[in-house]
Each structure stands twice: as C-alpha cells, then as structure tokens.
Amino acid sequence: MRVLDINLEEYGAKKALVQKLKSMGMPTPKTEHYRYFGIRPILDKEYIPYSPPIQSIEEADHIEIVDGTVTKAPKSIFVEFLTNPKVDDSHYDQIYYINHLLVDKTIHFELEKDMELKIVQKFTKTGTFVPYRIKISVHPGINAKIEEEFIVYAEESLYFYGYDIDLAKDSVLQLLQNRVTGLSSFAQIAPHSVRCDKNSEFRLFTFDFGVAKTLHNYHITLEENAAANANHVIFAKEEARLGNTFHIENRGKDSRTHQFSRNILKDRARGIFDGLLIVKNPAKYSAIYQDSKTILLNDGAYMVSKPQMEIYTEYISEATHGSTTGQLDEEALFYLRQRGIAKEQAKEMLVLSFLDEIFEKLGDEKIKKEFIELYEERE
Amino acid sequence: MSTMMKIENLHAKIGDKQILKGIDLEMFKGKVHAIMGPNGAGKSTLSKAIVGHPDVEVTEGKIIYKGKDITNWEPEERALEGIFMAFQHPVEIPGVNNAYFLRTALNAKRKHLGLPPLNAAEFLRLLKEKIKELGMREEMIHRSLNEGFSGGEKKLNEILQMEILEPDFVILDEIDSGLDIDALKKVSEAINKMRTPDRTFMIITHYRKILDYIEPDFVHVLKNGKVLKTGGIEIVDALEKEGYKIFEEA
C-alpha cells in the first residue's frame, strides 16, 4: 500500500476526521511544515500495512511498546484501549488526522499518582507501515516524569505514531524523548497534541540522534498560568533528516513558553526546527521565548531554523526569539589545541559545551554519555 | 648558551597580506627574550607562526625548535613538545569547565611524555595548590573557561595553565595589557618563579614596566616584519627616549 492511496470514503464511521482531512487536503511537499522534510518519497513508497494487535500485557517495571502493541507495563499503570478518543480539532498537521483515522484502538495510560515511568518503544517491522496512537491523561495535581526510549530495527519502514496528552489542572509532566535512530531507511512521522490546563506545566526534552528520517509535529495549547518548557537537541549525520515542528498556543493569561533548540549537523544531514509560538488575544501577560542555535560541522550539512511568533494581544510580558547557524568557533578550537588537546577531542569539547545548557537543565548524565558515544562512534 | 629555538628567514602572511618578511631570531635555553616593536611590526604574527595558528601561512623559511623543524607541525604537536602561549585575549568557552579543560590538557601532555594520567583527586590537589600560590579564588576552577572572568583573572588563568603544564618555551603575548599595577606584579612574580635554566620566555610587549619586573636577557626590535636590532635592556632605554625611529632600516 501507499499512504497517499488511502480512500477516505472507507472511513465513514469517523466522519469528523474525514471532514477535517478533506478540508485540509493531503500533505504535499509544499505543505509548510513538510516543506523541508522530503515527505513525498516517504508517502509514495509501497509498504506492507500492519495494524498493531492488542495482546495480554506482561508485568514489568516499564512500559514496552513493540510496533504499536503494548507488551509490558507496570501493574500500577492503568492501561486501556480507546475506540473513539477525543481528538484535537485544531492540529495543524494533516497526518495527525490520518493517523487517528487509521487507528482503531488508541493506547491510553492514566497517570493517577506521582511517578517516574519509562516507555521503551521497539520498531522491528521491515518494509512495513505501522500506525498507532498513545493517549496519556495526567490527573490534577500529579507530578510525573516519562522517559521514552527508541530501539530501532525496522528497515525501509514508515511509522506513524504520536501522543495525545492531557495535563489536568496543577499537574506537571516531564516528557523526555530519547530518539536514537541508527538506520537510514527508517522513517517516522509523529504528530503530537498536548493540552495543558490551568497552572499545569509541560517540560519537554527531545533528543534526536541519528541517521533516519523523522519529523515530530507538536501542537501544544496552554491555558491560564500554564507553562511549556521545551528543549531540543538534534545531532544528525549522513543523509539524515531529523526535525521538530511546533505550534504552541498561549491561550490563557499568564501562560509561558520557553523553547531552546541546539543542533549539531554533519555530512549531508538536515535538521529542522520550525516553531510557531502564538499568543491569543485572551492570553494577557504571557511570556514567550525561543532560541535556536546550530553548529554545522561541515559544508554539506543544512539547518532549517524558523523561530516564529504571532501575538494577538497588546499586553505581553516577554517576547524574544532568535536563531543562529554557524561553524565551531575557530579561535576556541585553536585555544584548546594550543594546550595540547587533539583536534578531534577539542571539537568534541566545544560541541559538548554548546549542548551543555540543555544537558544541565535535564540533569541526566546518561543522555550526555549516549551523545558522546554516538558522537565518537561516527566521528 | 644552548639554543632553544632558531627562526630562519621566516616569511609569513595572513590572508593576502605578507607580514613577516624574513625573520632571523635565535632564542636560548634559560633566557628571557623581549620582543618589542611598533603596531603592525609583526610581533603577534611571529608568535602565531611559532604556535601554528591556522590563520598564518608560512611562505618561506623555518622554525627549528629543540633541533627539530616544526614549521609544519600541528598546533597540538607543538604544545605537547612544550610550546605554550599565554594569549593576549584568552577566549571564553561557556560550558567547558576550567578544571576539566586543564586536566584534559595536562593528561594529554602526560600521555605524550609516557606518564600515567592524573585522576580527578590528584589533579584537584595540584590545582588547588597552584591556585593558592597565585592568590586566585578557588571557585574559578569550577567555572566555565574564562567566562565572566575580569581581564586580570583571565591573565592569571593563563599563568595558572602555564604553571600546571610546565612548558619549555613560553610566549607571553602582551600579558601586561589591561593589567593594573598589582595584577602586573602578581603575574610577573609568578613568571619569575617559573624561570629555570631549561625554560625560555619570549615576552611580547609595548611597555617597559613589565621588563622592570621580568628582566630580559635579550631585547629584539621588530619592524616591518623583520628583526632590526638585538641587544640588551639598553635598547629599551633608547626606545623610551627616542622611539622606534632610531632603529629604522639602513
């Protein structure tokens, strides 16, 4: 099957989704958030279709999802499968609706108490198209951390997946997405929707390390006094296209968005940071901040950095955005070499110093070590 | 006197501009060589050529150090063989911890010398001792390299690095610029302590003051990319009275 051949008429039962998709049209290379990703060859390709089955869940200390099927979960997590989950009706990505259209049962996790949870996602099917969705509901006042880890064996495959996250009032969710993709023929498009109710906070850390073609499209809405702190690192090599796009809407007053993106690109890799921060008219006294910096390690690498803001209120506490793309600082490199540090090691020190701000915020040495291993391995 | 470095007919350019036009200079073990000259004479280019800065292209001539031709060596190879430059404007590198950087540099040198690396505790002990001697604040070692340091602190940090790395050939590129009198004294005292029969200093300066504290054995005057005059401290006296015009090329 080709994704572009999906016949919308076959999905009459999901009328609202079909209508939405018809009004938006199918994604094309000219669709703004796909403009630099190269979506056509991915959607044009023939795949074996696969619908993840539901199976019995083995008890474990973490959640394991293999090709869209939950195989393991802790006993303390309430897992169910939703036939008609509530869908974000203002997502900007067509594939968000296609993804929901193709999924019969959405995986649903309820977070009812403070917790730290690990989700291991395994992608194993070769030559296959796998769509699935995950909904996470964070109950009021809950403080939770989720760490998502990728294990990728799937060659020549396309995965559609994404989170629908509901943060109830006064809740906090830290989502760490550690996406290491070591196969160049692996493709993934992941539209996410995050709704932050009053006084809630969504902390997002995304680490995209690898050589694959992946794009994550986040629609995040913030009600009164809600906050989104989003931090992103891309380290792309070879022919990789790794990217994140965002529409973050400050809808309630005193809401805050802070977004940092740090990117290191090598070979002919392409990184995408396309973030639109929107302050709606009722969102008085909101603060938005966006900062994207990129280092290109050689001439063939390419960064698409588009920090953007749309502000529809006169009363705003902060609105700052900036973007820089450059090479490693030659004077700093020379300074380190003049002290006897080998060129490659000096480069690594500078790259790490560039990412340090985000590693510091996360306070997780493991991710830093993984980055160093990956950096050294392929350098 | 035993030769540490011999520079022969050195021509070098930065971009399209020919700056060094035939430098001949011999520097000796255990001696302090002061390099003076007007702005644009080529002093900094000479120091950059010695340390292998990528901006400088040597077009003719050679640099012999400890009997080896190092003209085309990589900067880190020269550093590991004992060439150290205290920078006029040390770069700030946010995110690179001062102590981590210095331990990496020291262990690179120890590896080059066939010595085992110092572990974190051993290194910290050494570093704290040196910091105390230099009268630096201890918290500076945990900060990012030169980030937010005052001008004086940056220069002291260069001296700290020199003390830790114990080089054989030290270039002090306008180490006195931007230092108040107390800081200059402190830096000079530290340098004087480092003077040994096996170590050579090359001090680039515009001013006499530092040479009152660190007495040079030789003074070389550069102008238009050449060494015009070599002598003793009396050259500095003459320069103070008459300026560089007294050493015009014949």
pLDDT tens for each residue of A303-356: 999 999 999 998 999 999 999 999 999 999 999 999 999 998 999 899 988 988
- Residue A264: per-residue pLDDT: 94
The arithmetic mean of pLDDT across residues A52-58, rounded, is 95
Structure tokens at B13: 């350019």
Residue A282, judged by CB atoms within 10 A of its CB (0-12, 13-18, 19+), counts as middle
Lowest mean pLDDT among A7-21, A187-201, B211-225: A7-21
- The Cα A13–Cα A26 span in angstroms is 19
Nearest to A337 among B79, B87, B144 (CB): B79
- The Cα B154–Cα A121 span in angstroms is 48
- Chain A residues in contact with B53 (beta carbon < 8 A): 334
Nearest to A340 among B91, B105, B144 (CB): B105
- The Cα A337–Cα A334 span in angstroms is 5
Distance from CA of A279 to the nearest CA of B (A): 32
What average pLDDT does chain B have? 92
- Residue B249: per-residue pLDDT: 52
- The Cα A270–Cα A298 span in angstroms is 12
pLDDT in tens, B57-97: 999 999 999 999 999 999 999 999 999 999 999 999 988 88
Nearest to B51 among A338, A345, A346 (CB): A338
Nearest to B93 among A330, A345, A353 (CB): A353
pLDDT in tens, A110-154: 999 999 999 999 999 999 999 999 999 999 999 999 999 999 999
The arithmetic mean of pLDDT across residues B21-48, rounded, is 95
DSSP state of A346: H
DSSP state of A99: H
pLDDT in tens, A153-186: 999 999 999 999 999 999 999 999 999 988 999 9
Q: What are the two backbone dihedrals, phi and then psi, of residue A314, each rounded to the nearest 5 degrees?
A: -85, -20
Sign of the dihedral defined by the CA atoms of residues A27, A29, A31, A33, in that order: positive
Q: What are the two backbone dihedrals, phi and then psi, of residue A115, each rounded to the nearest 5 degrees?
A: -165, 165
Cβ pair A71, A54 in contact under 8 A: no
Phi-psi label, residue A167: left if phi above 0, alpha if psi -120 to 50, beta otherwise? beta
Q: Compute CA distances A26 → A6, A18, A115, A256, whole Å.
A: 10, 11, 39, 32
- Chain B residues in contact with A328 (beta carbon < 8 A): none
The arithmetic mean of pLDDT across residues A216-241, rounded, is 96
pLDDT in tens, B94-123: 888 899 999 999 999 999 999 999 998 999
pLDDT interval class at A64 (50, 70, 90) = very high
Distance from CA of A341 to the nearest CA of B (A): 6
Distance from CA of A268 to the nearest CA of B (A): 25
What average pLDDT does chain A have? 93
Q: Residues 188 to 247 of B: which have CB under 8 A from any A CB?
A: none
Whether B247 has a pLDDT exceeding 80, the answer reads: no
pLDDT in tens, A238-262: 999 999 999 999 999 999 999 999 9
- Residue B248: per-residue pLDDT: 67
Please indicate whether, in this complex, the C-beta atoms of A343 and B74 are within 8 angstroms of each other. Answer: yes
- The Cα B16–Cα B230 span in angstroms is 29
pTM comes to: 0.85
- Residue A232: per-residue pLDDT: 95
- Residue B36: per-residue pLDDT: 94
Cβ pair A214, A178 in contact under 8 A: no
- Number of CB atoms found within 10 A of residue B184's CB: 22
- Chain A residues in contact with B74 (beta carbon < 8 A): 337, 343
Whether B186 has a pLDDT exceeding 90, the answer reads: no
pLDDT interval class at B250 (50, 70, 90) = very low
- Residue A379: per-residue pLDDT: 45
Please indicate whether, in this complex, the C-beta atoms of B91 and A335 are within 8 angstroms of each other. Answer: yes
Looking at the DSSP bridge assignments, the partners of residue A278 are A249, A310
- The Cα B172–Cα B33 span in angstroms is 10
Distance from CA of B189 to the nearest CA of A (A): 22
Cβ pair B149, B135 in contact under 8 A: no
Chain A interface includes B44 (CB < 8 A): no
pLDDT in tens, A102-112: 999 999 999 99
Chain A interface includes B162 (CB < 8 A): no
Residues contacting B87, CB < 8 A, separation 6+: A335, A338, B158, B173
Nearest to A340 among B76, B87, B90 (CB): B76
